[in-house]
Structure 1
Amino acid sequence: MGAVVLVTGASSGIGAALCQRLLQEDAAVRLCLACRSMQKAAATKALLLAAHPAAHVSLVRLDVSSLESVLQAAGEVQRRFQRLDYLFLNAGIMPNTRVNFKALVSGLFSGKAIHMLSTAEGLITQEDSVTADGLQEVFETNLFGHFILGLYSSVVCPGLVMTNLTYGILPYFFWKLLMPIMWLIRFFTKTYTLMPYNGAEAQVWLFRQKPESLDALMKYHSCTSPWWGNYVEARKMDVDEEAAEIFYQKLLELEKQVLARMNVPLNTQK
């Protein structure tokens, strides 16, 4: 039996591109698309099967902003496959995202223009909300919902990719106007991957690696050369290990609290 691979947020963007690339890497993989919208997931599954008719692709409903949904999906996957070989924690949100135009204008005429445009540091603002679990939506969706699964993972960065999340920041026509500038910037920075296929490079690279060869303090970046050559660059994370340990312990305590509130035994989730 082929490797069992689960991808969260697999219905579009980098998640869908990753599924496509994994089937190109190994047609025998058993893909499970874990998505909030079953309608979108089914459409993605149909596209994957159209390109790979013999592929084994299944769906499971997973909304990482809901702890109940996370636990139900984990139980369903366990019953269905009995094991997971690869788990890609791809799901994430950027709600009510806006560009700080004042920071954009001032940054363009500073010595940090390339850095600003490469990382969007200081440019993006967003409004958050509280979920039914009493947690901040971005925190629960992008981090804690995955943490509840009880797993460690390598960290990747897809670069700047044009997806539904990106198009939600500015109107579509505005991105079209910016595209020539973005193409020009690509000659000065390797982080403008732009296409979901390119943004999935680091995840596909990890799929090929042995876990014991990976460094937990490295972040693996998807990069694209000016001539569309995709490659992965490993960069040491600027991590205060003492602060990271404190944060990790707080996550464990929060996990204990929310599972107790839901009457879920903690040890059954590990």
Structure 2
Amino acid sequence: MSRVVLVTGAGGGIGRALCKRFLEAGDAVIALDRNAASVESLAAEFGAARLTAIVADVSSQESVINAVGQGVAAHGPVDVAVANAGGALGTTLAHTDAAAWRRDVELNLNGTYYTIEAVRAAMIERKRGAIVLIGSVNGLTSLGHPAYSAAKAGLVSYTKALAMEFGPHGIRANIVCPGTVKTPAWRARVAQHPKIFEELSKWYPLGDVAEPEDIADAVYFLASPQARVITGVALPVDAGLMAGNRLMANELTLDPY
């Protein structure tokens, strides 16, 4: 199976794992990232034969359209779109001003919309396509970063709209909602608190947090023929975080699990 796969936010920890997963399967990858150094390192790591790395800012619709056009010219129409680009600014409502709110919503929600709009018409014309959005458990409950969380919650609704409206055209849409993931974005916090992952793991029923490869594997499955009748699903990939609060349950029942 050889497909053309679009990955945004390709230079980050999850993005690189996504690129590697699809390339290992024999697919061609159009890798977008707004950081030029990340784009260069992607090209150096994976080569240019089946990966085209392009500088693009998903918060600019024009930038996304131009980048996708370059990728399509190199590899052909997009079969799988993985909208992975995202990030969080304001940690709490008290520390989120209007500019931070707009930035988080523009990047995480609107940027995803711009990404899918850039491939939607071609998928409809060809009567096939798989869309996988990268959401967050923050979009399923309140865990801080309110603007980011609101944007990710919006993506869950957007996923369902995509699945409902584009299903008749042979297009599936799903969203993966990671919990904590051991990406390079955590480096500063790990440097300050070396045991941060150990401390966080107590909230996760499996006693661990995800690696970028865990997210890539879930995305790959949802984009594969093995998931041909799965659409409109919000899939937590979170070591059980959304299953329930074990520590609170212990206190409520006075019976340790």
TM bucket normalised to smaller? 0.5 to 0.7
Name the structure 2 match of 1:7.
7
Aligned residues: 188
Runs of 5+ unmatched residues, structure 2:
121-161, 163-172, 244-257
Deviation at 1:65, TM superposition (A): 1.7
Q: TM-score, normalised by structure 1?
A: 0.59
The equivalent position to 2:96 in structure 1, one of 124, 127, 132, is: 127
Larger CA Rg, structure 1 vs 2:
1
C-alpha distance in 2 between matches for 1:204 and 1:224? 18
The correspondence of residues 16-165 of structure 1 with structure 2, limited to 5 A, is 16-24=16-24, 26=25, 28-49=26-47, 56-97=50-91, 127=96, 130=99, 136-148=102-114, 149-150=116-117, 151=120, 152=162, 153-165=173-185
Secondary structure at 2:31's aligned position in 1? strand
Say which structure is richer in helix. 2
Task: Percent identity, please.
Answer: 27
Q: TM-score, normalised by structure 2?
A: 0.61
C-alpha distance in 2 between matches for 1:97 and 1:162? 19
Is 1:182 paired with 2:200?
A: yes
Runs of 5+ unmatched residues, structure 1:
99-123, 226-232, 235-270
Deviation at 1:197, TM superposition (A): 1.6
C-alpha distance in 2 between matches for 1:36 and 1:165? 15
Deviation at 1:37, TM superposition (A): 1.3
- Check 1:144–1:136 CA distance in 2 against 1; reply closer, same or farther (3 A cut): same
- Check 1:204–1:66 CA distance in 2 against 1; reply closer, same or farther (3 A cut): same
8 Å CA contact retained: 1:202, 1:221: no
Name the structure 2 match of 1:214.
230
8 Å CA contact retained: 1:29, 1:55: no
CA RMSD after TM alignment: 3.2
Deviations 1:239-266, CA, capped at 9 Å, x for gaps? xxxxxxxxxxxxxxxxxxxxxxxxxxxx
The correspondence of residues 233-252 of structure 1 with structure 2, limited to 5 A, is none
Deviations 1:23-65, CA, capped at 9 Å, x for gaps? 23x1x2111111101221221232234xxxx951111222012
